[in-house]
Amino acid sequence: MRPLKIVVLAKQVPDTRNVGTDAMKPDGTVNRGKLPTIYNPDDLHALELALNIKDRVPGTTVTVLTMGPKRAADIIRESYYRGADNGFMISDRRFGGADTLATSYTLAKGIEKLAPYDLILGGRQAIDGDTAQVGPQSAEKLNIPQVTYVEEVMSISDNEIVAKRRLEKGVETVSAPFPCLMTVHDSSPVCRSRQAKRVMQYKYARTQTELKSKSTEEYLRELHTKRPYLTIPEWGVEDIDAEMEKIGLSGSPTKVKSVESIVLTAEETKVLSDSDVDIEMMIKELIENHTIG
Amino acid sequence: MKSVFVYCEVENQKVAEISQELLSAGKRLAQKLGSPLEAMVFGAGLNNISKQIAPFGVDKIHVVDDTRLEPYTTLPHAAIASDILKREEPQIVLFGATSVGRDLAPRLASELSCGLTADCTILDIGDHYVSKEKKEYKDLLFAIRPAFGGSIMANIINWDMHPQMATVREGVMKKEIFDEKYQTEVISLAADKILNDEDFVVKVLERHIEESDVNLKESPIIVAGGYGVGSKENFDKLYQLADLLGGEVGGSRAAVDAGFIDHDRQIGQTGVTVRPKLYIAAGISGAIQHTAGMQEASLIISINNDPDAPMNKLADYVINGDISDVVPKMIQSYKKNAK
């Protein structure tokens, strides 16, 4: 079977699953700067699926594409540590404020630069928005078929991939031709860990922006001239030929009109201790008013 | 007047529960706007499908009846919906936040270059002044949803790239028949006029749909656990209490993520919305993402060792204590006092 060219879309996200009290502002909103950033969990599942296909089909390459601020280069390094062959970053202030439509346009322009490709993989959704929209929207922009919620790849041939989808109420097996885009469900296998050897090899991988930074030591720059594969390519608006009106805020139809932190309150709250007496009193009240039988 | 559209999911000649709820929500929006409500439904054997749809107050039903449209696959459904929406230019289009709706709506939003807001918990109509353009936009869709891990509610609008699209989870909107004898107009379209072979490149080879035996939505009593429950073993105590009271067990997203409980028991914005008689929240802090799915419970008990947990503000009874201590005491006390 011929080797495949796989592109994995990965996003760096604030860890909204562990919002500690220190990350909450007094008005109840989240201080994003205070949240640690992580590799979006579903995207790690997508990376694993890609690496699994690479194991099964010799010669297959796995390229990771991420879009985000400068610190998102961590995503590329992490992907290298776990087995990715290449990494590219889309990073430019002008992409900021993008909703899912503008994001998928930008990603699609980046993916087109990586053409030809056989398979685009991404997580089903990102934990900072849970929309699950960027996958299908990117597929539409690229004009290729989509297969969402993939749990397992059953078989691969030169022209076709067969995958099991995890639906709300069951499973479905579908076949799709190459090229296509798949979003990966978190019921698929978890991602393999970092390999020590690859960490040694790629820990000095940097973007141009990082290399230029004052805090970067000179020997790193020298290392990059000797080992150019360590330099993570960084693409801005012009590099991917993006149209200004389709990116960032201006390319985003949805706007946030207002946010409010809503504090719901009951009319009257009875506060009890964990003593037997208090609990028995409550249970008796509930039985009396027929809440419980 | 521009209309409100609902994409109806149908399987085995039956309109899905979520679609019936959306038709009701769509009708309420249409009435506020003074505009017609329209439905689109694609599937196989749909001769009498309008009878299930019209009573929600639907003025026009666009039907495409073709064996190739069931089970659902993305491309043909997207091609037909896009064809209809480009011609009809509605103001608002609603989809269920289901396996189908979450697959279809974004593909369509991309093709139509319009805005789409996922998992809304409130839909409303209102005006918005855009200061940059010095212009007031009337009658916009307010798509309201919890955001940033459920700590705030965000009102998402879209004033310049129509239609305005939104998805809603099952159970969020109330289903109500508008008029059993509502007069509707059925428009049948031929799939062949819109579709070609390329729309059928993705093929469904096998399908197993199981009706889940978990029925949180209908259960009058729900014992729900959060991250604070601490372990799968502690969840067993919640199951004991639920069994005793004749209720079901649910969980917050944090509990699901931690592996304490299965996905199909998740309550909240990205899970199920419930309206039980009694809701016992054990070790649930009460992020909006969760409370959005249970705030309409008639009576709420919050068991938490954090006296400042937001859930406590919502609760009728607050018990300050540990789950592992309080729940067994509740079981014991119930056994003693129940007749």
| Predicted local distance difference test score (pLDDT) of residue A263 | 61
Kindly state whether residues B195 and B242 are assigned to the same domain. no
d(CA A253, CA A231): 35
Of all residues in chain B, the one with the smallest CA distance to A170 is: B209
Secondary structure (3-state) at B137: strand
Q: How close, in Å, is residue B6 to chain A by CA atoms?
A: 19
Same domain, B126 and B31: yes
Q: Residue B280's pLDDT is what?
A: 97
Cα separation, B149 vs A23, in Å, equals: 12
Give the burial class of A255: count Cβ atoms within 10 A of its Cβ; 0-12 exposed, 13-18 middle, 19 or more buried. middle
Note the maximum CA span of chain A. 80
For residue B320, tell me if it sits in a domain: yes
* Record: contact B337-A266, CB cut-off 8 A: no
Sheet holding B164-168, edge to edge: B116-120, B164-168, B92-96, B4-8, B37-43, B60-65, B185-189
Question: Is B270 in the same domain as B163?
Answer: no
A254 vs B contacts (CB less than 8 Å): 115-117, 143, 156-158
- A170, A254, A264 member nearest B313 (Cβ): A264
Residue B72 neighbours by CB under 8 Å, 6+ apart: B9, B100, B103, B104
Q: Given an 8 Å threshold on Cβ–Cβ distance, is A263 in contact with B102? A: no
Domain termination residue (choose one: B165, B200, B235): B200
Which residue of A24, A100, A279 is in closest CB contact with B106? Answer: A100
Residue A293 burial (CB count, 10 A): 12
**Interface contact A257-B313, CB threshold 8 A:** no
Cβ atoms of residues B93 and B123 within 8 Å: no
Where is the domain boundary, B200, B234, B265? B200
- At what angle are helices B232-245 and B323-337 packed, to 10 degrees? 20
When divided into structural domains, chain B yields a total of 2
Same domain membership, residue B286 and residue B244 = yes
Residues B172 and B79 in one domain: yes
Give chain A's domains with CATH numbers. Answer: 5-251 (3.40.50.620)
Same domain, B233 and B122: no
Whether residues B94 and B22 share a domain: the answer is yes
Q: Is B240 a member of any domain? A: yes
For chain B, give the number of residues: 339
Q: How far apart are CA B44 and CA A239, in angstroms?
A: 47
Q: pLDDT (tens digit, 9 = 90+) per residue, B147-190?
A: 766 667 899 999 988 899 999 998 889 999 999 999 999 999 99
Asked whether residue B172 falls in the same domain as residue B242, the answer is no
pTM here is 0.87
Mark whether B162 and B47 lie in a shared domain.
yes
**B171 and B22, same domain (yes or no):** yes
Instruction: Clarify whether residues B187 and B233 are in a common domain.
Output: no
CA distance A241 to A128: 28
What does the pLDDT read at residue B238?
96
Question: Token match 């369509």: residue?
Answer: B108
φ/ψ (deg, to 5) at B120: -70, 145
Contact A149 B99 (CB under 8 A): yes
Contact across the interface for A258 and B155, Cβ inside 8 Å: yes
Mean pLDDT by 10 residues, chain B (339 residues): 94 94 98 97 96 98 97 98 97 97 98 96 94 92 83 87 93 93 97 96 93 80 95 93 94 92 90 92 92 91 94 94 94 89
Question: Is B205 inside a domain boundary?
Answer: no
Q: Which member of A19, A132, A134 has the closest CB to residue B149?
A: A19
Rounded Cα–Cα distance for residues B155 and B143 (Å): 6
Query: Residue B286: left (phi > 0), alpha (psi -120 to 50), or beta?
Result: left
Q: What pLDDT shows up at residue B289?
A: 85
What's the domain range around B238? 221-337
Q: Decide: B138 and B127 in contact? Cβ < 8 Å.
A: yes
Rounded to whole angstroms, how far apart are CA atoms B258 and B255?
A: 5
Burial A70-105 (b: 16+ CB within 10 A, else e): eebbebbbbbbbbbbbbbbbbbbebbeebbbbbbbb
Residues of chain A with pLDDT under 70: 17-33, 262-265
Q: Give pLDDT, residue B43.
A: 97
- Is residue B198 within 8 Å of residue B77, measured between CB atoms? no
Least Cα separation, residue B206 to chain A (angstroms): 5
pLDDT at A215: 86
Residue B181 and residue B229 in one domain: no
Q: Choose, out of A101, A175, A181, the residue to mutate when testing the contact with B (most B CBs < 10 Å).
A: A101
Which pLDDT belongs to residue A259?
Answer: 84
Q: Of all helices (H) and strands (E), which one includes residue B201?
A: none
Sheet holding B317-320, edge to edge: A270-272, B317-320, B299-304, B278-282, B221-225, B248-251
